[in-house]
Amino acid sequence: MVTSKPVGDREKVVSKLPAWLRQDLKIRAAELGVDIQDATAEGIELWRATDEKLPAVDTSGAATFSTWLLPGQWDALKATCHDRARIPFVQGLAQSIALWLREHPSPKHRPVTGIPRRKIVCNQKGGVGKTAVAAGIAEAYAEDPSAVVGVESGIIKAAAAAGVPRENLGALAEARQATGMGLRVLLVDYDPQGHLTKQLGLQHLPADGDSLAKHMSGQATNGTIKDLVVTVKEPRFGGRLDVLPACPDSFLLDIMIVSARNRQATLERALEPLESDYDVIVVDCPPSLGVGMDAAIYYGRRRDGEAPGVSGTVIVVLAEDSSADAYAMLIDQIESGKHDWRIEVDYLGLVVNAYDPRDGYIITSSMRSWLELGEGHPPVIAVIDRLKEQREAVRGKVPLLSYAPDCPQANVMRAIAKESL
């Protein structure tokens, strides 16, 4: 509907738009200091001018949306919808907004300081799913910015099963849709076991060649660290997702760097030549509290000029007592490093992995403990159910978000990525 007698040189338009898309538009316009009406008008012109075949936007449940457009612009949109196989007006408007969001990324996607955001995925306990989470959030950061994807933290359902009142949970990532983030991402396989490298169908670096450990210890001889990086060849990531593969020599990393000057800075020195190529660097850490883990913690510190919560640690745990013990030991190591090196390390949040309340009271009571850790501890930012898709993706040696982009686990990975951005 168009209202005549416009305010100034505009006319009021009333249509419909999905709530999640309207919310993204509101947030992005505020971030960029742009009026929503100007963003909508520009999006319509972008959409009418493009020859690109854009994906359909899920407009189910669309609610009333009103704005002010330039005179004749709404009629022009309707005409273009008609010309393009009679696309519904609501779909044309939704695609226009989605295109504007893609062409005007959030300023949060690139740090003001010009350095990449560094996400250190860690826990000294093995088998908690660090590799799955590191890979999943890296994939989420790199996803096609024109894709419409699901996002859900999984916290609300887990809290209900654990008997935690919803009002006690604070801000939560409700189930919603969003567009892909389209960032340039480096995923570092810092674990000598190399599960991440193998799970993505890549080859380990040969032990007799250069590696991340050799670059950290000053023993590299053949070229630069950029020569070791491999691109994940999946269309969904558009060449934006790279991996620094593991090498068996990383089993000796602590010995290789123990005598290095400022050994806690060895990972940073090794990765520094790569930083200008990426928006985000995700480090999949080994289950260790050794010198190499010190270097990872130091790499994730808050650098000069960097805002709080931009870089830091994502701690992956299970809903069980042994995981809580390992968490306490890791926190002690991080806090000791902060004190010894006079640095700040931000806790980006806890991820509870492989959760299934059907396993009984031990599991649900442990989940309740994680959700109620309280002040002074990182919050739970996501709960990943124990489902088959991740295991199937690993067996097939393909990224989860390529294998099953619409599965609940994929939606939670996106929630983690967005919450920790």
The alpha carbon of residue 335 and the mean position of all alpha carbons in its chain are separated, in whole angstroms, by: 25
Domain ranges of the chain: 11-104, 109-419
The tokens for 403 are 């294998």
Residue among 316, 347, 335, 318 at smallest CA distance from 420: 347
**Contact status, residue 212 vs residue 270, Cβ threshold 8 Å:** yes
The tokens for 300 are 């994730």
Measured CA to CA, the distance from residue 380 to residue 400 in angstroms comes to 22
In percent, how much of the chain has pLDDT > 90?
Answer: 69
- In tens, the pLDDT along 147-197 reads 889 999 999 999 999 898 887 776 566 788 888 999 999 999 999 999 999
Res. 355 pLDDT band, cuts 50 70 90: very high
pTM over 0.85: no
Question: What's residue 104's pLDDT?
Answer: 85
The tokens for 252 are 């000796």
Measured CA to CA, the distance from residue 384 to residue 133 in angstroms comes to 9
**CATH class of segment(s) 109-419:** alpha beta
The tokens for 260 are 């290095």
- In tens, the pLDDT along 246-293 reads 999 999 999 999 988 899 999 999 999 999 999 999 999 999 889 999
Please name the residue that has the structure tokens 């997702």.
241
Measured CA to CA, the distance from residue 77 to residue 93 in angstroms comes to 8
In percent, how much of the chain has pLDDT > 70?
Answer: 95
Residue among 375, 405, 378, 376 at smallest CA distance from 389: 405
Q: How many CB atoms lie within 10 A of CB 374?
A: 7
Measured CA to CA, the distance from residue 317 to residue 350 in angstroms comes to 7
Measured CA to CA, the distance from residue 344 to residue 334 in angstroms comes to 10
Question: pLDDT averaged over the chain?
Answer: 90
- In tens, the pLDDT along 393-403 reads 999 999 999 99
